[in-house]
Amino acid sequence: MRFSVMKTERRVSTWSAPVFFSAWLTLPAVFAQQTVDVTIQNYRFTPAQVQIRVGDTVRWINQEKRTSHSVLFAPEQGGESERFFPQESWQRQFQTPGLYHYSCGPHPEMKGEVQVVP
């Protein structure tokens, strides 16, 4: 009887080690940071609203033919990016949860928002 118990314990241990190890290997994929693209074309941010997780990055890509743009946040939320020209991009990583409204510095009618969730 005692031998049988040890054998059962051994099978559980042998079975749980691969399960634990494979679960551990998937953790980086679950918590991997992502980059979300927002295109700028026809004087619009597309998509205008994005939701990301803390640690993720948003990259704005200028797809206009001749116009430069910037990404302007309120001063307490980061201020304004440098201007970037067609086929250039600018990106920002977000570390704090919250709602970040932005516009284009030279074209204030262009508006967007980033919602950062935990």
Domain count, the chain: 2
Peptide bond into 106 cis (omega under 30): no
Range of the domain at 17: 1-32
One domain, residues 64 and 111: yes
One domain, residues 75 and 113: yes
CA distance 69 to 73: 13
71 φ, ψ to 5°?
-120, 120
One domain, residues 43 and 77: yes
Model-level pTM? 0.74
Write the CATH number for 48: 2.60.40.420
Q: What is the pLDDT along the chain (118 residues), one digit of tens a residue?
A: 232 233 334 444 444 445 444 444 444 445 678 999 999 999 999 999 999 999 999 999 999 999 999 999 999 999 999 999 999 999 999 999 999 999 999 999 999 999 999 9
Dihedral angle computed from the Cα positions of residues 22, 23, 26 and 32, in that order, rounded to the nearest 10 degrees: -150
